[in-house]
Amino acid sequence: MKAILLSGILILCNYLGFGQVAAFPDSTFNGTGRKIFSMGGTLDFGDNVVLQPDGKIIMTGATFIGGYAKLGVCRMMPDGSFDPSFGTAGKVTVDLGLLGYQGGFEPEMVLQSDGSILICGFAQIANPGDDDMFVCKLSSSGSLDPSFGTGGRVSVDMIGGGAPDAAYAITTDNAGNVYACGATRTGGTPFTNDMAIIKLTPAGVLDPSFSGDGKLLLDVSGSWDFAYGISVRTDGKIIVGGYAGLPADFVALRLNPDGSYDNSFSGDGKVTVDIFGQNVADEVWGMSVDPDGKILLAGDGIDVSAGSIAKGAIVRLTADGNIDPTFNGDGIATFPVGTTSTMLRNITRMTDGRYAISGDAAVNVDKDYCTIRLLANGTQDSSFNFTGYFTMDVSGLGKDDLGYGLAVQPDGKIIVSGNTSYSAAVNEKYSLVRIVSPNVLAGFTASSNLICNGGSVQFTNTSMGDNLSYEWTFEGGSPGISVAVNPLVTYSAPGIYDVKLITYNSNFSDTLNIPNMIEVVSQPTAPAVPSGSASTCSLQSAVYSITPVTYATTYTWQLDPPAAGSLQPNGTIATFTAAVSWTGAYTIKVNAANQCGISAWSPAVNCTLNHMPSTFMIQGEGVYCQGTTGTSITLNGSETGVNYDLYLENSPTGNVQAGTGSSLTWNNIVIQGFYTVNGYTSSCNQQMAGQIYVEMKVPPAQLAVPTGSSSSCNNISQTYSVAGVAAGDNLEWTLLPAGAGAMTPQGSQVLINWDPSFHGNASLSVHALNECGQGPESQLLLIQVYQSPDPVVSGVSTVCYLDELPYETATHSGSSYVWDVTGGEITSGAGTSQVHIQWKAIGAGTISVTETNADACAATSQVFNIEILLCEGVNTGFAKDVLRFFPNPAEKSVNLLFDKPCEKKRSLVICDLQGRAIKDFLIPAGSKMLENVDISYLSPGTYLFKLIRSNDSDRIARFIKK
């Protein structure tokens, strides 16, 4: 019997329908059924695969090293690990000359009976810059075979002149001769190509018995001809598959051993097939030949009627070159696996007559590996993944996966190889998957995975396949063996047991063994007495525990009496929290349970709950002055029967007082530190609330002289400070004379607002104070306070636009002046106490002046507001003798202003519009301005100013009374 695991294991296999089996990655290959890897170059492009008889897997491709493409070959063990007996750590690279690109390099290979490997492609060895057909031979250990060609390599230039040649398929005949096919560009455009075929002797030399020189070019269509498959029959005739024409069609050729067309094949040695009959491109990428001579071509065709998507296509021809109507009804099978494209690269016949096909399909956007399985009649094999096809995102990251190579193991597992592109032309990798789709798949479920001894389990068979039989093995069960479809099994003894099912038919079998599937348990026994504290104090917590009981899944804890507190269970542990005021004896016990029943109670653990001292607060100042007897600490309450110990820095002082029911005091405490109080009885102790820090204070020392400016002006504020102030000390500042200014203390600083009426000598000092007294006064800081100026602007406040007028402030020796004007411009006197200003903006203007005296004290005047008016003028007839009046219109008064003092006395008359005089004025000679001439008595309307002149006509101007 196995160790008990108290957890259920639920094994489910979904019923998928008899005769139909899911396809999935084979986890016995690299742990995940897939392998993505680099050959060590900066870029890797995986391609084809071949399977050795011993199950080892060989894969080809290209890898870039030092800026040039190399042939990259690797060999893996059946479990997906690299074979250390092949090359270096399972990898080999072969030089291809100065080949600087990979496009179109699709190295195909064929395995020899001695384990050697023939591989074809193209290279730039003999002719740099010119692609030649290339064949190399590797030994079974991965080294180049020096007996083949030149150092294991052969390079063939088909027609010279720099025309590119490429080989895409390779095979051998019974004599060991090597055949490779591909294409040669024979014209000036990429669309002028002939099929190219070479034949080499086993030693790697061109065989002149074939086409006279071992090389053959076939212009099948006159334009675009490529060969992608080649096979040699036992009679030496050669079958070639590919595509020809523009747009291309599928094509198959049969040649005589000398390279001439075999006219017994389709009448002229060649057959073409238009897949959809729509005159669009149909291209072949792979070919295979059945044992009975039937030819299968794999590729894709554009279906215009389906939105011009590329569909996978398979064509089967009879051995004599006719379309085989027994294959899907018309010899053609098409497969729109992807949503936008499906490209089929290789096809092979399986041992049971079915076909496996590899390629890729664009599912949504990115391409995935695509594997198709067909029945011998060309229809999709629905027993393969229910649909006949299987797609796989190899990286699982939604990247392009291009499927090329194909191999089928004897057990039916399918290997597909190719390339995974994490980032095109930047991060490309070889990739390989192994897919399993068993013909028989064992599966079952159980009605329960956890039962009581004596109980039964109903097993339900979910195996898949045709004409199945079953052999069950039930460890620990009755019956122990069964051939029933869905057996009912009884288990008597507790334990954990395996279940095994062998599902089989006449051809296949599958075994499913589920270890530890069924767990059988019995009712648990009573737990042992709980362990934990036998004595507890009020409000404290205590943990009680037991050893786990076999088969138990839950535990129930019990506290008696419940008034003792609360019990919080957690499996084999329970936490007891004592009540606040209850004391006395209590017990704790526990039982165990599972689905089979409940055990008896355990023996109880006997415990006592004791009184916990109540919490009181400690109080006290904590500070005492030097030279006194110390400070006191008080506990604001106590209980009788409880002792209280004074602690210093968490250590007992031994200064213990018995509780009285009232407050307690400890006097004459002089040792500095943190003090606490602990109340205790014989069973419980409780730290009282709070703590007091005791320290000794000394009176303050004399402070330094205050720092700050020793001179000031009486219209500003200044800050002074003092250093060396002890924490907790307060400061008192003294300013003499007391009326020199107002002080505002700010910590170790003081702000002085000097009184404008004071100037002369002042002094500042300071002293500190604390609980233990006042310190000595500091030395004096002497301060010279200077008188600040008080400038006032005077001049005309109502002016006319473009007037130039004088303004001034009092003149003081040694002072400098800075004027600030808006609405006008200083024309002279800047920097002095008197300026002339021309007013240049109608509306409001301002004047202010800042005076700095000889003591460097400065002050700015109040703003002098100016009203700037657009004034009316009356020309007097004298040069520059213009009388102006403003405002206009006016309501109560007007102002009269000459540009310069009037040279003669004049008469000014106010008239109505009929010229009748209303009031006259005399303007004395030398007058500059008459202010506030009263017009309030006039009714609203328009009036005239008439300037009377003795030697000339009068001058008249209008004004409006509002």
Per residue in 455-470, pLDDT (tens digit) is 999 999 998 887 899 9
What whole-number distance in Å separates Cα of residue 960 and Cα of residue 894? 11
Close Cβ partners of 439 (under 8 Å, ≥ 6 residues apart): 21, 383, 412, 465, 507, 508
Q: What is the CA radius of gyration of the chain?
A: 57
Q: What's the confidence (pLDDT) of residue 161? A: 82
Instruction: Give the domain 535-610 fold.
Output: Immunoglobulin-like (2.60.40)
What whole-number distance in Å separates Cα of residue 35 and Cα of residue 430? 8
CB of 208 closer than 8 Å to CB of 145: no
Amino acid (one-letter) located at 38: S
Which H or E run contains 764? strand 760-770
What whole-number distance in Å separates Cα of residue 146 and Cα of residue 126? 17
Instruction: Report residue 928 as tokens.
Output: 């500059």
Ranges of the chain with pLDDT below 50: 1-19, 876-880
Local structure of residue 114 (DSSP, 8 states): T
CB atoms within 10 A of CB 3: 7
The strand ranges marked E within 637-725 are: 643-648, 651-658, 664-669, 673-680, 685-687, 692-697, 711-713, 717-721
Which H or E run contains 918? strand 917-923
Close Cβ partners of 195 (under 8 Å, ≥ 6 residues apart): 181, 182, 183, 217, 218, 220, 225, 226, 227, 240, 242, 244, 253
**Burial track 181-215 (b if 16+ CB lie within 10 A, e otherwise):** bbbbbbeeeeebbbbbbbbbbbebeebeebbeebb
Domain ranges of the chain: 25-105+337-437, 107-286, 444-521, 535-610, 618-697, 711-773, 794-868, 874-961
DSSP 3-state of 830: coil
Instruction: Report residue 305 as tokens.
Output: 């009627």
Q: Please tell me whether the overall predicted TM-score, pTM, comes out greater than 0.85 for this model.
A: no
What is the average pLDDT value for the chain, to the nearest integer?
92
> Measured at the alpha carbon of residue 354, what is the angle toward residues 351 and 359, in degrees to the nearest 5?
110
For residue 247, is the peptide bond before it cis, meaning its omega torsion is within 30 degrees of 0? Answer: yes
Distance in Å from the first CA to the final CA of the chain: 123
Domain 618-697 matching CATH 3.40.50.300: the answer reads no
Q: What's the confidence (pLDDT) of residue 950? A: 63
Going by C-alpha positions, the residue among 605, 590, 462 that lies closest to residue 534 is 605
Q: What's the confidence (pLDDT) of residue 12? A: 32
Identify the CATH homologous superfamily for domain 444-521.
Immunoglobulins (2.60.40.10)
Fold: same for 535-610 and 874-961? yes
CB of 554 closer than 8 Å to CB of 595: no
CB of 251 closer than 8 Å to CB of 243: yes
Instruction: Report residue 839 as tokens.
Output: 């007013």
Q: Any idea of the CA torsion for 511, 517, 522, 526, to the nearest 10 degrees?
A: 150
With 0-12 / 13-18 / 19 or more C-beta atoms within 10 angstroms meaning exposed / middle / buried, residue 651 is exposed
Instruction: Report residue 626 as tokens.
Output: 């030097």
Give the architecture-level CATH label for domain 794-868: Sandwich (2.60)
Local structure of residue 354 (DSSP, 8 states): -
Going by C-alpha positions, the residue among 402, 398, 374 that lies closest to residue 388 is 374
Q: What's the confidence (pLDDT) of residue 172? A: 98
Task: Give DSSP secondary structure letters for 192-255.
Answer: -EEEEEEEE-TTS-B-TTTTTTSEEEE-SSSSBEEEEEEEE-TTS-EEEEEEETTTTEEEEEEE
What whole-number distance in Å separates Cα of residue 371 and Cα of residue 389? 6
Q: Determine the number of helices (DSSP H) and then strands (DSSP E) in the chain.
A: 0, 80
Q: What's the confidence (pLDDT) of residue 375? A: 95
Local structure of residue 716 (DSSP, 8 states): S
For residue 561, is the peptide bond before it cis, meaning its omega torsion is within 30 degrees of 0? Answer: yes
Supply the CATH classification number for the domain 874-961: 2.60.40.3080
